[in-house]
A = this chain, B = another copy of it.
Amino acid sequence: MKLFKTLAPAVALVALPSLGFAQDATEAAPDINPYIFTTLLFLIGGFLVFWMAAGFAMLEAGLVRSKNVTMQLTKNIALFSIAAIMYWFVGFNLMYPGDGWTVAGYVGILFSPTVLEPVGLDASAAALDYASVGSDFFFQLMFCATTASIVSGTLAERIKLWPFLIFVVVLTGFIYPIEASWQWGGGWLSEAGFSDFAGSTLVHAAGGFAALAGALILGPRIGKYKDGRTVPMPGSNLALATLGTFILWLGWFGFNGGSQLAAGTVGDVTDVSRIFANTNMAAAAGAVAALILTQVMYKKPDLTMTLNGALAGLVSITAGPLDPTLFGALWIGAIGGIIVVFTVPMLDKMKIDDVVGAIPVHLIAGIWGTMAVPFYTDGTSFAVQALGVISIGIFVFVVSAVVWFILKAVMGIRVSEEAEINGLDMSELGMEAYPDFSKG
């Protein structure tokens, strides 16, 4: 198990004896290369995870109907931007509060100068046993934004823009940083022995729980469930959806690989390599499993299931991408893909309308991935893994539900029936995504 930032041990200096000056054999200069390597890992990993924001935007734009594409794009660029501001304004310091973790401390941090400028952004404050604070901040920020991206897909095609964005403010400024601090900020879950390497639960299931709360309160799209059957509402652009999936797959190498949090030793960089190989394998296995299963079950392979299968494979391996063998990554990812094929229709049976399948992919496969950690990672247990999932699930679901209820009461969260039928693009934004093409 790897803890982020506060608990990161002085890996670099320990692993490599300091190299001395030949000129003066009694004095030792610190080796700066591990600091540089780990900083580069965060910067490269960070820009790859940033790229996932584009992946979610394309996936969701491709899976909604053409009349709601502009709105979905607007939500995606806005939510990322809000996450970037809120995580800086509140989240980062809330998530890494240091050792004395108290409610009073939280409030104190909120009003301290460090909220506006994380300590150590300057080179003069560099802690050579880790990485630059700026790179760490940059990397962590992207995880916060990812959590918000998950929500927007589920609630597409019927939620109003501004209430959704206000929810994003709360999610990225408070909900995510608080639950993530329980583990990555050195909080009680990490003390309890919970293990979630890159965030199957902390990021993906958390986003999924927030989405689930929203979906239940918001209700399904008009006409989705009619006379006991589910009416298909096919996505308008599967090329974009496929592009989005490839983007997410690419970004995931940064998501999981960067979560090694160190690249300055032979051991660390070898581990990052294993993580890359396992992440790729889990995605491939999830895609193939969904492809074959849809062929068997429906006699026709299903592209959107295959795409979601790849994503579910990625989510599944995220809790423990380092320890499994490649064969382990294969079966863990494949089960992720199978989960998608079975839970998408299950949700529909429960009349939970999840437009892009984010709940199967991020919530259910995220739980699966978290529970699979003990198969390969020593010192973990199913009980503690379940404790982590349940406590984060309850916290995120309940707080999200409260926020959604308040937003519903205060300003309403759903567009009018007419606006929904005409499409949010024209009714809410007055701008079509594809104005030149006549609708079929």
Contacts and interface: CB of A to CB of B under 8 A. Distances in A.
A249 B53 CA distance: 11
- The A interface is mostly helix, strand or loop, or mixed, namely helix
Instruction: Kindly report how many copies of this chain are found in the complex they form together.
Output: 3
A105 interface: no
A68 to B, nearest CB: 10
A364 B264 CA distance: 43
A88 B237 contact: no
A7 interface: no
Nearest to A267: B123
Interface string A326-354: 11001000000000000000000000000
A437 interface: yes
Given A280-B138, A440-B437, A32 B117 contact: no
B236 A435 contact: yes
A143 to B, nearest CB: 14
Contact of A239 (B73, B247, B263, B435): B73
A61 B437 contact: no
A306 interface: yes
B276 A330 contact: no
A90 interface: no
B58 A29 contact: no
Interface stretch (A79-87, A180-188, A196-204, A212-220): A79-87
B429 A440 contact: no
Nearest to A435: B234
Contact of A116 (B80, B291, B327): B327
Interface in A42-88: 42-44, 46-48, 50-51, 53-54, 57-58, 61-62, 65-67, 69-70, 73-74, 76-78, 80-82, 84-85, 88
Contacts of A69: 238-239
Given A431-B302, A435-B440, A274 B121 contact: yes
A239 to B, nearest CB: 5
Given A44-B44, A47-B253, A61 B269 contact: no
A330 B85 contact: yes
Given A234-B435, A237-B433, A437-B66, A326 B122 contact: no
Interface string A150-167: 000000000001100000
A239 B68 CA distance: 11
A161 B299 CA distance: 12
Contacts of A50: 249-250, 253, 280
Contacts of A135: 269, 272-273, 276
Interface in A255-288: 257, 263-267, 269-274, 276-277, 280-281, 283-285, 287-288
Interface centre among A62, A85, A325 (most CB of B within 10 A): A85
Interface stretch (A33-41, A223-231, A384-392, A396-404): A33-41
Interface string A171-194: 000000000000000000000000
Nearest to A134: B273
A117 B277 CA distance: 11
A117 B439 contact: no
Interface string A129-152: 000111101100100000000000
Nearest to A62: B239
A277 B138 contact: yes
Contacts of A85: 281, 284-285, 288, 330
A281 B84 contact: yes
A44 B440 CA distance: 43
A300 interface: yes
Given A43-B273, A70-B238, A81-B310, 18 more contacts: A36-B264, A42-B273, A47-B250, A58-B239, A70-B303, A74-B303, A74-B306, A77-B310, A80-B284, A84-B284, A116-B325, A117-B326, A121-B270, A121-B277, A123-B270, A137-B277, A238-B432, A239-B434
